[in-house]
Structure 1
Amino acid sequence: MKNRSAILISFFLILSVAIPASAQSLTAPEESTIIREIDANFARMLAYGEKLDYDKLSSGVDDSREAGFITNGNFYAQYATLIANMKTAAKGIDRQVFSIREKKITPLSDRLALMTVSGSATIYLADGRELPVNFLWSFVYEKAGDEWKVIHSHQSSRN
């Protein structure tokens, strides 16, 4: 019995290594549509972020899976905690302007996609000062109904 169990376990281990995991196969037009939809969503969210409109920015997030969010080395189990922290940190900021250097959207299925972004921002303070910031972001998007929503993000900035 032990021998049979060992053989069975070995078989499944070999099988799991031999068969690579992959995302759902999508046609080129399907991928193109997903990329276009997510890119349009991202552009809207970026505009809300520049205006510090956190209520509208939050409309692009679905935290029902509670996947967590990471910002500058801090883990937030719920989006509500992250956005409350962002609102507090934004006191004294008038607006911000983002400049995207690189952006890659990778559809994994008809309902899931990854996005990685690098760029810079200028933060305009209410007292007239300007702060330059470089950032790196990654997002996991899930299609909820007809809309793409962020279900996880990892964001970091460096000066």
Structure 2
Amino acid sequence: MPAFKGTRDPDLYLDWERKVEVIFDCHNYTEVKKVKLAVVEFSDYAASWWKKFSRDRLDNGELPIATWDEMRRVMRKPFVPSHFQRDLQKRLQNLRQGSMFVDDYFKAMDMAMIQANCNEDEEATMARFLNGLNGEISDVVELQQYVDLDKLVELAVKVEKQNKRKQQTSS
């Protein structure tokens, strides 16, 4: 199990959460055991926060956290600011290829969509990808035939390589 110190960096918290999810997916732990295994790896601020949080629940007559989903929900409040999701959406909407290679741009877009929990149909994702491509690539790609996102990315990479070859031969 990965350790968690209780950082206020939402990316670090979400990364920790994903790693724990992978471990839990590999084992058939009960929900209570999942909670206990996660708590064992708390240190620093996370350990203090959890102790206080648990004590406050008991003092208020509430039951202890009993499931991993419930634990994730309560942990996101202090470790993932409410504006974080909006920031992720904004970052995704403003993402452009710029100086990145097409493949790197696609990976950055895909990661941003995963982090922002963006579930859109493939047509919308293709439009998003095309919109963020540099003009000299998107202008050529839009004139070509493609049926899905994978073919669109392949085509954009191919156009990018052709553009580089043209630049190399002209210089």
Asked if these proteins are the same fold (TM beyond 0.5), I'd say no
Q: Highest relative contact order (Cα 8 Å, sep 6+), 1 or 2?
A: 1
TM-score, normalised with respect to structure 2: 0.24
Q: Greater share of strand residues, 1 or 2?
A: 1
> Which one has the largest radius of gyration?
2
TM-score, normalised with respect to structure 1: 0.25
